[in-house]
A and B are shown apart, each in its own frame.
Chain A
Amino acid sequence: MLQKIGVKSIDDLFVDIKTQHRPKSFNLPQGKSEFEVLEYLKTLAAKNSSQLVPFIGGGFYDHYVPAVVAALTSRGEFFTAYTPYQPECSQGTLQALFEYQSAICAMTDMEVANASLYEGGTALYEAVMMAIRTTNRKKVLVDGGVSPIYKKIIRSYTTNLHFEFVETPVVHGQASRSAIKNLLDKNTAAVVVQNPNFFGAIDDYSDIVDLAHQAGALVVESVYPISLGLLKTPGEMGVDIVTGEGQSLGLALNFGGPYLGFMATRKEFVRKMPGRIVGQTVDKEGRRCYVNTLQAREQHIRREKATSNICTNVALCALQAVIFMSLVGKEGFKELARINADKAEYMKQCLEKIKGVQVKRSSPTFNEFTVCLPKDASTVVEAMIKKGFAAGFPLSRYYPGMDNYMIIAVTEKRTKAEIDAYTKALAAVLVS
């Protein structure tokens, strides 16, 4: 090969890198065998706990992932392919993404969905930017019930831009209508809400949609997918842009990623939407087929005028989700949502029997709810860890002053026995 190239050594291929540009150091260990690396990482995996029974959510939930999901996504034809730039030899990925978009539209009652964004938080940021672009306005109202993690993300990305973010208060668990009404004006691009909100409360935002639309603003809603088996959909409320974290649709928790940001909107806004979009068309013979479409929005064509800088998204996670959604199906979805809600209700009833524990019931909830403890929630959670439970997420982590509050999540995986044992352990911790 070197002879054909016309050089003497591999070093000759690197002549453009001048001597003074060679590494000052490249002091790395020797390679190891597959077996040694597996053993090493098994020891690291063992340092993490799988013994704690999880009751933490905060937007990321311990749902069961059916075996079929991993079995299918581990097919090399899926996971060793790349972005379907050549549609004729990528119909598998393209059709799966079209089916994913369709299932997201069905779930949210929206007209168009993109082929995925990184995760729920950055998806919400993209939705806010889309609303700003669409309305050409610069003020955004963010309800206090939106995930504090997501609010921090939006703030980081917009530091260098001249937008105005106003947080509206939560009253008895619900978005304050009067505050939103007072703050909506002709500069408002969007009202951002979340359902269920970070405290677990559920809501019907139809009236906020009406208020926003009267002011010429859009409504952006972040939703928890599993709840939509039961709860009023963004489409039914008239929401303009929907996003959410799709981790609960067949993805493991994986210490924070990869996850799945989904986004759906109404047809009239499709050209303002960020990310890849798969569209159905026909080939030369008139046969149904799929392509990446509306690429004129994207960075590889539009460069600095693109709707977003996104390139690689999370196609494999979208595939996991569409397999999950197909498997669970129309009826299974309703059932799954109901199981989650009912188990959480059972847990509320159990906890209400513990002296000093106050379950917040000012708003209905889905599978996560807020409790007020008679002492500092962080230290209670610490004590519960010793008893084998990840007992909940203390709100003081993001809301200074709410020291005694925490949110507790219950999924279909939690059993009556686990909930009963938790209740007993908590009662013991609180008297000690």
Chain B
Amino acid sequence: MLNQPVDLIFNKSVKGRRGYVNPPVGVDAHAPIPQAFMRKSECNWPEVSELDVVRHFTLLSRLNYSVDTNFYPLGSCTMKYNPRITEKIAQLSGFTDLHPLLPQLLQGEKFTQGALQVLFEMEEWLCEITGMKAFTLQPLAGAHGELAGVMMIAAYHRAKGNKKKYIIVPDAAHGTNPATASIVGYEILSVKTTPQGILDLDDLKSKVNNDVAGLMLTCPDTHGIFHSDIDKIAEIIHAVDGLMYYDGANLNAILGRCRPGDVGFDVMHINIHKTFSAPHGGGGPGSGPVGVSDRLLPFLPISRVIKRADGSFALNYDYPQSVGYISSFYGNFSVLLKAFAYTLILGGDGLKQTSDHAVLNANYIRACLKDYYTVPYDRICMHEVVFSAEKQVARGVHAIDVAKFLIDKGYHPPTVYFPMTVKEAIMVEPTETESKQSIDEFIQVMIKADELSKTAPESFHDMPKTMPISRPDEVKAAKDINTCYRG
């Protein structure tokens, strides 16, 4: 970690300096473009050398915490290790150089058989893992998958002539759920959480009516708890011809232990960058395949990859009830390719072990820290555990202060202030890839934070002290908006 700021690359610019040599023109022709259509302004990109660029971005990278350098127990984000072999595979030129319009040419398909096979086989794997009938691999992130999924729900009701108005979302849900349902044109009905931390069945029953199009549920939910009565929820929703949406954000908890397709879900998305270990990239690219049950099969986005009788693969666009195009092509192909390689390496047993260890690690942290931090729902959890810093708050130390303490100790903090149903939430998701040693060290540091909250609560307010910057002024950022370098 670098402990000093890095100047903006624009400030390193020197007139006339070049970092890259373009290929030669090599032809004797000059495109006649009328002056009226030409750019008059200068495009002030930096003028720097190749070494300037390499050094600048290398220094910037050293201002980051990452899974490679730090334990990163960010709840709900599944920050597991990203195996390097998958990166290597994604760089094979047979994949990287492939133009997405190639299979849309006559005979062009022949030249993309390998890529189509990757997509076809990945879909088969995902169907068996989740118990869904078919998948579209097109959605480009989890929230994009939600959008595709809810569009299919809307298409289903349109096709049946159903007049539906509402999507039900638990109060503990990710913000993407209500945002998605709203964008598709639905109103939101919020359902409460019980004192045990799960969706309240009685509240659900009281709110369900014939205008309900469906319910979006994360399972295990954002408290890290699996709803044992998932079949009853499905029954209630299906009774009004509503559809069950499974938010796959927490799928890493149940691989080989439960399949959404078996317990009544009609549509689900998977966050490939979480459960299937594609890297998070500092905030994407992700990938959010959506699986469906028989009911929603006709509505899947186009195109779909099919296998012909002769064993060759093709794109099929002929699905008259499809919701249509949801992105330009076939999904974030290279992200899916990394996930495919990861899946092949782990196999069925490895995937199951993934969830076993993720759940073991989270419960171990819960058991070791419950005497220090309040556990609002003190019971066996799944892959993540939610604490509340309420005891520390009584001493003047908030969840955000604990987070900043952890930064100084070399840990990326857990998710804080989410879920919103828990006051001063600290949501820890260790994942399966951390060793017992690194988890024990984390536990000790969390205990130290609690001790310090008793002996010197005021010391937290200047933390972090070891980073290139201290706490930023976020109010100023939103008030004096500066989102662009201006020379």
B51-59, B204-212, B237-245, B450-458 - the one binding chain A: B51-59
Tell me the minimal C-beta distance from B479 to chain A in angstroms. 9
B interface size (C-beta, 8 A):
205
Whether the Cβ atoms of A48 and B112 lie closer than 8 Å is yes
Given known A-B contacts A23-B131, A44-B117, A293-B483, A88 and B467 have beta carbons under 8 A apart:
yes
Whether the Cβ atoms of A17 and B254 lie closer than 8 Å is yes
- The yes or no answer to A160 lying at the interface (CB within 8 A) is yes
A interface size (C-beta, 8 A):
208
> Which residues does chain A contribute within 8 Å of B105, judged by CB atoms?
56, 378, 381-382, 385, 390, 393-394
> Which residues does chain A contribute within 8 Å of B29, judged by CB atoms?
342-343, 345-346, 349
- The yes or no answer to B297 lying at the interface (CB within 8 A) is no
Partner of A232 from B18, B39, B93 at Cβ < 8 Å:
B39
Given contact pairs A81-B65, A258-B285, enumerate 14 new A-B contacts (beta carbons under 8 Å): A14-B257, A22-B257, A42-B94, A44-B115, A45-B93, A72-B57, A79-B279, A156-B326, A235-B41, A276-B283, A291-B474, A342-B31, A345-B32, A366-B31
> Which residues does chain A contribute within 8 Å of B72, judged by CB atoms?
81-82
Tell me the minimal C-beta distance from B392 to chain A in angstroms. 18
- The yes or no answer to B394 lying at the interface (CB within 8 A) is no
The CA of A113 and the CA of B332, in the complex, are separated in Å by 23
Residue of A52, A291, A315, A326 most packed against chain B (CB within 10 A): A326
The CA of A257 and the CA of B332, in the complex, are separated in Å by 4
Whether the Cβ atoms of B91 and A37 lie closer than 8 Å is no
Whether the Cβ atoms of A77 and B143 lie closer than 8 Å is no
Q: Which of B40-84 contact A (CB under 8 A)?
A: 40-48, 50, 53-54, 56-58, 60-70, 72, 74, 77, 79, 81-83
> Which residues does chain A contribute within 8 Å of B331, judged by CB atoms?
256-257
Q: Which residue of B lies closest to A14 (CB)?
A: B257
The CA of A229 and the CA of B185, in the complex, are separated in Å by 40
The CA of A190 and the CA of B5, in the complex, are separated in Å by 42
Residue of A34, A257, A312, A326 most packed against chain B (CB within 10 A): A312
Given known A-B contacts A25-B128, A102-B10, A153-B326, A291 and B37 have beta carbons under 8 A apart:
no
Partner of B473 from A72, A203, A283, A310 at Cβ < 8 Å:
A283
Whether the Cβ atoms of B474 and A16 lie closer than 8 Å is no
- The yes or no answer to A93 lying at the interface (CB within 8 A) is yes
The CA of A257 and the CA of B287, in the complex, are separated in Å by 10
- Interface residues as binary, B82-126 with A (CB distance below 8 Å gives 1, 0 otherwise): 110101110111111111111011111011111101100000010
Q: Which of A274-316 contact B (CB under 8 A)?
A: 276-285, 287-291, 293-296, 298-306, 308-316
The CA of A129 and the CA of B342, in the complex, are separated in Å by 37
Q: Which of A50-103 contact B (CB under 8 A)?
A: 50, 52, 54, 56, 58-60, 62, 64, 66, 68, 70-72, 74-93, 95-96, 98-99, 101-103
A-B contact pairs, 8 of them (CB 8 A): A47-B94, A99-B485, A160-B158, A283-B470, A291-B474, A291-B477, A293-B474, A332-B20
- The yes or no answer to B376 lying at the interface (CB within 8 A) is no
Q: Which of A196-250 contact B (CB under 8 A)?
A: 202-204, 228-233, 235-236, 245
- The yes or no answer to A424 lying at the interface (CB within 8 A) is no
Partner of B472 from A29, A281, A317, A342 at Cβ < 8 Å:
A281
- The yes or no answer to B182 lying at the interface (CB within 8 A) is yes
- Interface residues as binary, B136-149 with A (CB distance below 8 Å gives 1, 0 otherwise): 00001111101100
The CA of A21 and the CA of B404, in the complex, are separated in Å by 41
Tell me the minimal C-beta distance from A120 to chain B in angstroms. 7
Whether the Cβ atoms of A84 and B283 lie closer than 8 Å is yes
What 9 A-B pairs have minimum CB-CB distances, sorted nearest first?
A256-B329, A45-B94, A28-B348, A31-B347, A76-B68, A316-B281, A47-B114, A258-B285, A315-B283
